[in-house]
Structure 1
Amino acid sequence: MKFSIGGSLKLAFRPWVEGLENVPADGPAILASNHLSFSDSFFLPAVLDRKVTFIAKAEYFTTPGVKGKLTAAFFKGVGQLPVDRSGVRGAGDAAIRAGIEVVEKGGLFGIYPEGTRSPDGRLYRGKPGGLARVALATGAPVIPVAMIDTEKIQPPGKVVPKLMRPGIRIGRPLDFSRYHGMEGDRFILRSVTDEVMYEIMKLSGQEYVDIYATAAKRRIADAEKAAKAERAELEKAQKAAQAELEKAQKAEKSAQEERSA
């Protein structure tokens, strides 16, 4: 199913790729990519000969009915791995365990260090909890990846994608084996993550923002909420002013009618 989906995507969108030679023909590796669109997890596997396993919400695989079964089959076909988000720390620990398992079996594990899609096309600070821990626990090389223009194909909230050519740049593998077994050191985790994000920034050409994307989304949501409240207050004031104007006009008209009488 991966090849049929991948072939259809390549035929329809004709993605261009640079650096395919940096992905090993076999053996374990971690693909660390920026995240611009829901479709990133489909375009990257489509251009590779090997299967890439990403983490996906377990809900995608357990929805009942025909639609749920089709969704589950699709996500399995493109290499998505279900992760149960229940528990004290949610998906974090489960995703790390799943990633380690994929890598230890000699597979390619795909991960988005930002943790969520970019809200505005810029590159945000990487979260050290997932990528770095999997890399240090396994000793596998980390391959930085830059998705180009996928946010233009399928912006957040859009269901029907726009037909245009996305790009994928794959960088040289980064070796963090010198830190193997040090995944409990938060300073090492931060250093490893920042090094990977720097390479992704160079590949993608994105502006880098040194805050988490989740925080940026909250700021944007708060700003939109404040703007909406301000518009509502303005509309309320305009309606009040209009009502006062109509009241004054009515009073003036009544006064004129009295003078005429």
Structure 2
Amino acid sequence: MHLTAPAILLSSRAHGEHGAIVRALTREAGLQAGYVRGGRSRRVRPVLQPGNLVQGEWRARTDAQLAALTVELLHSRAPLFAEPLPAAAIEWATALTASVLPEGQAYPRVYDALEAVIDAVEAAPAARGWAVALVRYELLLLAEMGFGLALDACVVSGSRDDLAFVSPRSGGAVSRSAAAGYEGRLLALPRFLIEGGAADWDALDAGLRLTGHFLARDLAVGRSAEVLAARERLVERLQRAGG
């Protein structure tokens, strides 16, 4: 096995006295793990920051063997970790991706979307500039993993008009008229997830509640549920920023 490709660093954990096991996302070869010799050194550790773009080279004698990985920094996102909100956003997006994607399968849409989210955080550290992209990224991950929401028509009537809610059971949109009397049992569907564009804080909060419900139920389960703590920290900081 020999692979050389640009990759987004997703996670790094210490292994042994000096090394690190790294998980990174490539566009064409998907999620790849590798052992970085000297990954805990002062020279290499900053390169292994989640969110960084690197040139990775993986080598292994067999597909079953953990590959030896060398990395060259292409673009550092380390400065973003000096600010709590951008740091929390990148921590959550990379941790979620690392925990739910199967290894070795290409997900080019996920790669492109994650790169766009991190670029948005870098371009506009203020949360209003990137929170919409983050909610959309969560929806994309749900869809790519087989848990997509049906937001284009009312699950009750089939109407495409005045969609305002989502069924927490089916993940289907519900129109305002079909939801009459049951609003308290449904999740709000913010307009920006239907029409695109920007969103105010109330809409962002609704979007995060919507995706959070299905992430916790369908995607971040089992061992992956541990990453939800990173999302809770992010949501708390976003709520303080919006308040």
TM-score by length of 2: 0.29
Q: Looking at both structures, which has the greater relative contact order when contacts are Cα pairs under 8 Å and sequence separation is at least 6?
A: 1
**Larger helix share, 1 or 2:** 1
TM-score by length of 1: 0.27
